[in-house]
Amino acid sequence: MIETKEELLESILKEAIQKTKKTNHIQLVSITKKIDTIDPLHFFEAAKQLEADRTFWSSTADDFFMVGVGATYKIEATDNRFDETDEQWRRVKEQAIIYDAYQHPGTGLVAMGGMTFDPNKERTVLWENYSDSEFTVPSYMLTKYEGKHYLTTNVQVSKDDQAPDIANTINETIHTLLKKPVTAAVKTEIINKNEIAPDKWKQTVEDATQLIKTSGVEKIVLSRELRVRLSQKAEITTVLTELLSAQTNSFVFAFERAGDCFVGATPERLVKIQNEHLLSTCLAGTAPRGINLEEDATLANELFQDEKNRSEHDFVVKMIKQAISPYCTDIEIPNEPIIYPLKNLQHLFTPVTARLTSGVSMFDIIKHLHPTPALGGVPREKSLQFIREHEQLDRGWYGAPVGWLDHNNNGEFAVAIRSGLIQGDAASLFAGCGVVKDSDPEAEYEETNIKFAPMLSVLGG
Helix ranges restricted to H, 221-361: 236-246, 293-305, 307-324
On the question of pLDDT at 291 being above 90, the answer is no
Alpha helices in 118-197 (DSSP H): 163-178
| pLDDT value at residue 4 | 46
Residue type, 164: P
What's the per-residue H, E or C state across 185-211?
CCCCCEEEEEECCHHHHHHHHHHHHHH
- Distance in angstroms (rounded) separating the CA atoms of residues 82 and 63: 29
pLDDT at 30 over 80: yes
Residue 211 scores a pLDDT above 50: yes
The per-residue pLDDT for 186 is: 81
Q: Which residues of 222-252 are buried (b: 16+ CB within 10 A; e: fewer)?
A: bbbbbbbebeeebbbbbbbbbbbebbeebbb
The pLDDT of residue 247: 87
Contacts of 302-306 with CB under 8 Å at 24 or more apart are: 303/339, 303/346, 303/347, 303/348, 304/337, 304/339, 304/348
Q: Which part of the chain is CATH 3.60.120.10?
A: 190-458
Distance CA 348, CA 302 (A): 11
Q: Note if the bond before 267 is cis, omega within 30 degrees.
A: no
Q: What percent of the chain has pLDDT over 90?
A: 80
pLDDT in tens, 178-205: 988 767 678 899 999 999 999 999 999 9
Interhelix angle for 198-214 vs 441-458, to 10°? 130
131 vs 119: CA distance, rounded Å: 9
More confident residue, 184 or 275: 275
Per-residue pLDDT reduced to its tens digit, 345-399? 888 989 999 999 999 999 999 999 999 888 999 899 999 999 999 999 999 999 9
pLDDT at 3 over 60: no
Rounded average pLDDT over 158-184:
90
Task: Render pLDDT for 56-79 as a digit per residue (tens, 0 to 9).
Answer: 999 988 999 999 999 999 999 988
Q: Domain 190-458's class?
A: alpha beta
Residue 1's pLDDT band (boundaries 50, 70, 90)? Answer: very low
Mapped onto helix, strand or coil, the DSSP state of residue 24 is coil
Q: Collect all residues with Cβ–Cβ distance below 8 Å to 51 and sequence separation of at least 6.
A: none
Where residue 189 falls (left for φ over 0; alpha for ψ -120 to 50; beta otherwise) is beta
Catalytic residue numbers?
219, 268
pLDDT one-digit tens code per residue, 306-360 = 888 888 788 788 888 999 999 999 999 999 999 988 877 888 989 999 999 999 9
State residue 287's pLDDT score. 85
Q: Is the pLDDT assigned to residue 6 strictly greater than 70?
A: no
Does residue 169 carry a pLDDT above 80?
A: yes
Tens-digit pLDDT profile for residues 120-139: 999 999 999 999 999 999 99
Instruction: Please give the C-alpha separations between residue 369 and each of 14, 85, 273, 340, 397, in angstroms, as whole numbers.
Output: 43, 16, 14, 21, 16
2 has pLDDT over 50: no
With 60 as the cut, is the pLDDT of residue 303 above it? yes
Residues 6+ apart with CB under 8 A from 8: none
377, 316 contact by CB (below 8 A) = no
228-267 tens-digit pLDDT:
999 999 999 999 999 999 888 899 999 999 999 999 999 8
Across the chain, what does the average pLDDT equal? 93
Mean pLDDT in residue range 407-435 = 96
